[in-house]
């Protein structure tokens, strides 16, 4: 019975951990919908933060749009997913 409880806890932990969104390219010091698109810079040390698909708020079209983040610098207008962008920039649409 004790072993079954331990296995259930391990299974639950692994399931929750795998379901969480991983986003290495998220700015460390906050987000800002009002900045323009900035894919950042690439380099050998930037690849661990690079995301093949991120999103930014496009002020002209008033929509979240897909972009490729190169891994270093950039600005605070980048989001992990379309849903993340839409949730944080809702009053602008």
Helix (H/G/I), strand (E/B), else coil: 70: coil
Reference 92, options 54, 67, 57; nearest CA is: 57
* C-alpha span between 25 and 3 (Å, rounded): 39
Q: Which band of pLDDT confidence, cut at 50, 70 and 90, is reported for residue 10?
A: low
Q: Which residue has the tokens 């259930």?
A: 8
**75's tokens:** 């600005």
CATH numbers and ranges of domains, the chain: 2-92 (4.10.410.10)
Q: Give kind and range of the element (H or E) at residue 66.
A: strand 63-69
- pLDDT tens column, 15-64: 434 434 578 888 888 899 999 999 999 988 888 878 879 999 999 999 99
């Amino acid at each position: 019975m004790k072993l079954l409880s331990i296995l259930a806890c391990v299974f639950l932990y692994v399931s929750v951990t795998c379901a969480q969104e991983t986003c290495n390219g998220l700015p460390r010091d906050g987000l800002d919908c009002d900045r323009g698109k900035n894919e950042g810079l690439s380099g050998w040390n930037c690849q661990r933060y690079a995301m093949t698909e991120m999103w930014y708020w496009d002020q002209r079209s008033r929509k979240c749009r897909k972009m490729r983040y190169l891994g270093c610098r950039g600005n605070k207008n980048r989001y992990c997913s379309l849903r993340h962008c839409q949730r944080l920039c809702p009053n602008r649409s």
